Structure 1
Amino acid sequence: MDKSIQVMLMYILTHVGLIFFVYPADIVCSMEIGHWLAVTVGFAIHIIFVIVYMKGLSYFNRQDLIDIYLTAGKAAAIALLTPVLFYLLAVNIITVRAYSEIVSLNFLSDTPLWVIMLLLVAVSTFMAVLGIESLFRTALLMAFLFLPLVAFVLLTVFQNADWHYLLPLADRKALSFSFVANRSFLQGLFAFAGGFLFLGFVTPYVKYRSRNIVWASLLLLPLFIISVYAPVLTFGQHTASLLQFPFITTIDTLHIDWLMFERVTMFFLLSMVTFVMLFMSLVLWKTKRILHRCIPSVKPIYITLALAIVIFAVCLQIPDWKLVEQLFWWNTILRLYVITVIPIMTLVLGIRHKRKDFNGHG
């Protein structure tokens, strides 16, 4: 049975949860003029490698990424998947710690940080234990409940925009693409890197059309642009670059007389946090899949629980936001590896597999 809609929703929701918090600050700080260039370059990198990744997957019949890499031999699979394993583990640690801080700052300031982290880890672990099919059903429910609210916020977020801030669209420095080597831009790729890998892990469980994922990718581009330009047009480049969470601060400035709720921000944040927990549970499930293939004698539930304990324990050792930002930066090499090397190697192995089949039949 084709489940393209569910896969598309999972793809969209997990990315939406990552777009509106850290990403706008990174892009705003990466350049002074022409932010649309940074957004479109990052997005172009993303969609090119997603297409490469799915093309590679299409050469195999319902095999997941682990089985695909095992066709190159056990040593090659270990070499290729070990950085992915460390990346996924780092992503969950960074996400739990970063988003617990965001929740604490915005609406649970009196709650100890460790309680928020424990809640995020516990809920994500519970969803991961239920399995991938339950995660897809959860994604459907979340989309039904929260996407209309997110759409409403995005339609009203330019309420206080000064459109003069849009110009100039670019300058010589922006057109030189020097921002590509900027630390903030490279950190901003976090919003692109973690969300597409699951496409190679769910193939034994669900059937989907690659073309639909490309369309889902295109739907994300306006969201990336809005997340950056809403704060820039509201506060100006200089002020927006000083804000820790520019988009969330922009939502705080909204005033809608006919709305019965005073703070739109709270409901938007709750929507984002649910999407982030879905993302974390998906990452946890992928990490468990890799580890279970390494140690098949251990039950998957024990692996998941052990991972949750490790993630929570490491998060407790991160004292402040400064170290969170440092972790974002230290994770850059693994991030670039996941974005580029994994799709390319999947395609290479796919072409190799097709040639073997062709020669075998020949």
Structure 2
Amino acid sequence: MDKSLQVVIVHLLIHIGLIFFIFPTNIIDSTTVAHWIPILLGFLLHWILIFIYTKGLSRFESQNLLDIYLQFGKPVAVIFLLPLFIYMFMVTSVTIRAYAETISLVFLSNTPLWAIILLTLLISAYITSLGVQALFRTGVLMALIFFPLIAFVLCMSFQNVDWHYISPFWNSHFSFLTDPDYLESSFAFFGGFMYLGFIQPKIRYNRKKVVWGSLVLLPFFLMAVYIPVFTFGQETASQFHFPFIVAVDTIDITWLMFDRITMFFLLCTVTFVMLFTALTAWVNVEILRRCLPKSIRTSYIVIGLSLLTFIMGINIPDWRDVDFLFGLNAWMRLYVYLTIPSSIFILGWISRRKAAAAT
């Protein structure tokens, strides 16, 4: 049964959860004018990598990423899957820690961080333990409940914008390409689509629908940066840790019974982040299931990974260390998300040549 709609919805949700917090800060700090240029370049790379990745996977319709690499030998599998596992584990730990601090800053200032991390992790672990089928159904349910609220907040966030801040529209200097902040922004661009190689053949999808469906994300990338820039200006927006959240906090709706619309926006996006961390943890569970004895239950692997993630999360002292780990992890992210899609595409081409020669 074709489940392309579920895959597209989950793909959109997990990226929306990653876009509106650290990403605007990275882009605003990496360039002072014409922010659409680094956004468009990053998104173009995101789209090309998804195209290459899904094109290569389409040559192995009945196999997932683990099966593909293992059929070409264990050394090949280790070269590509070990860095992927390390990256996925690090990104889960740092993401949960970062969003726990965001939750604490906005509306749970008296709650200890370890409690927020634990609660977030327990929910993500529970979703992971249900399996990939239930995970995607949960994503569809989240979209039905929370996406209308996200759309409402985004529409209302244009309330205080000043369109004069759009100038200058062009920047002839591309110095942002070597800026560490722009490198960190790659987390939102292509930090969340590696799961596409693990869900087949359990979940079948049309690769073209996923590739074209990902174009829906471009307006969200643009709004995440331009709404705070249009609201405060470049100089002021660059002073905030979470410029989009601050911009949303300025919304004044007299007819709404709730004082702070920010709380609803944050709760919606945090649920998407939980979906992202659950999906990322599920990928690592799938890798460990191939490495560990079959006698070890999947639930034990989920518990063990969750415990290690919690230990790492609570041992990150402050936001400075979170930012450092995001920057450190960016280099491994580039390796993983550039080499795996290209290697799968090349292996698919080799496999097709061999099949054609055999006939």
TM-score tier (shorter): over 0.9
Q: Which amino acid is 1:333 matched to?
A: W
Distance in structure 1 (CA, Å) of the matches to 2:299 and 2:48? 35
**Unmatched segments (≥5 aa) in structure 2:** none
Instruction: Give per-residue Cα distances to partners, 1:12-68, cap 9 Å, x unaligned.
Output: 001010000000000000001110001001001110011000000010122111111
Query: What corresponds to 2:317 in structure 1?
Result: 319
Distance in structure 2 (CA, Å) of the matches to 1:216 and 1:65? 22
Does the 8 Å CA contact 2:80/2:336 hold for their aligned counterparts?
no
RMSD: 0.9
Equivalent pairs counted in the alignment come to 358
* Cα distance, 1:328 vs structure 2: 0.4
Instruction: Give per-residue Cα distances to partners, 1:245-297, cap 9 Å, x unaligned.
Output: 00000000001122222211000100001000010000000011011111133
Identity %: 48
Instruction: Give per-residue Cα distances to partners, 1:134-158, cap 9 Å, x unaligned.
Output: 1011011100000000011111111
Query: What corresponds to 2:218 in structure 1?
Result: 221
Query: What corresponds to 1:343 in structure 2?
Result: 341
* Cα distance, 1:299 vs structure 2: 1.8
Distance in structure 2 (CA, Å) of the matches to 1:157 and 1:71? 51
Q: Give 3-state SS (helix, strand or coil) of 2:62's partner.
A: coil
Between 25-34 and 352-361, the greater mean CA deviation after superposition: 352-361
Q: Give 3-state SS (helix, strand or coil) of 1:157's partner.
A: helix
1:257 to 245, 254, 258: 254
* Cα distance, 1:193 vs structure 2: 2.6
Query: What corresponds to 1:49 in structure 2?
Result: 49
Query: What corresponds to 1:38 in structure 2?
Result: 38
Q: Give 3-state SS (helix, strand or coil) of 1:347's partner.
A: helix
Query: What corresponds to 2:171 in structure 1?
Result: 171
**Unmatched segments (≥5 aa) in structure 1:** none
Q: Which amino acid is 1:69 matched to?
A: Y
Q: Give 3-state SS (helix, strand or coil) of 1:48's partner.
A: helix
Does the 8 Å CA contact 2:25/2:238 hold for their aligned counterparts?
yes
Instruction: Give per-residue Cα distances to partners, 1:56-102, cap 9 Å, x unaligned.
Output: 00101221111111121111111111100000001101111000000
Query: What corresponds to 1:244 in structure 2?
Result: 241
Q: Give 3-state SS (helix, strand or coil) of 2:110's partner.
A: coil
Does the 8 Å CA contact 1:19/1:224 hold for their aligned counterparts?
yes
Distance in structure 2 (CA, Å) of the matches to 1:171 and 1:187? 21
Between 256-265 and 157-166, the greater mean CA deviation after superposition: 256-265
Query: What corresponds to 2:71 in structure 1?
Result: 71
Does the 8 Å CA contact 1:69/1:76 hold for their aligned counterparts?
yes
* Cα distance, 1:103 vs structure 2: 0.4
Query: What corresponds to 2:353 in structure 1?
Result: 355
Q: Which amino acid is 2:225 matched to?
A: V
* Cα distance, 1:104 vs structure 2: 0.4
Query: What corresponds to 1:185 in structure 2?
Result: 182
Query: What corresponds to 1:144 in structure 2?
Result: 144
Distance in structure 1 (CA, Å) of the matches to 2:242 and 2:293? 42
Distance in structure 1 (CA, Å) of the matches to 2:288 and 2:96? 20
Q: Which amino acid is 1:129 matched to?
A: S
**4+ runs deviating over 3 angstroms:** none
Distance in structure 1 (CA, Å) of the matches to 2:330 and 2:137? 32
Distance in structure 1 (CA, Å) of the matches to 2:242 and 2:14? 19
Query: What corresponds to 2:94 in structure 1?
Result: 94
TM score, norm. by length of structure 2: 0.98
Distance in structure 1 (CA, Å) of the matches to 2:162 and 2:7? 38
Q: Which amino acid is 1:329 matched to?
A: G
Distance in structure 2 (CA, Å) of the matches to 1:287 and 1:231? 36
Q: Give 3-state SS (helix, strand or coil) of 2:301's partner.
A: helix
1:331 to 325, 329, 332: 329
Distance in structure 2 (CA, Å) of the matches to 1:86 and 1:59? 27
Alignment of 1:220-299 (within 5 A): 220-297=217-294, 298-299=296-297
Distance in structure 2 (CA, Å) of the matches to 1:34 and 1:221? 16
Instruction: Give per-residue Cα distances to partners, 1:301-353, cap 9 Å, x unaligned.
Output: 11111000000001111110000000001101111012211100010111111
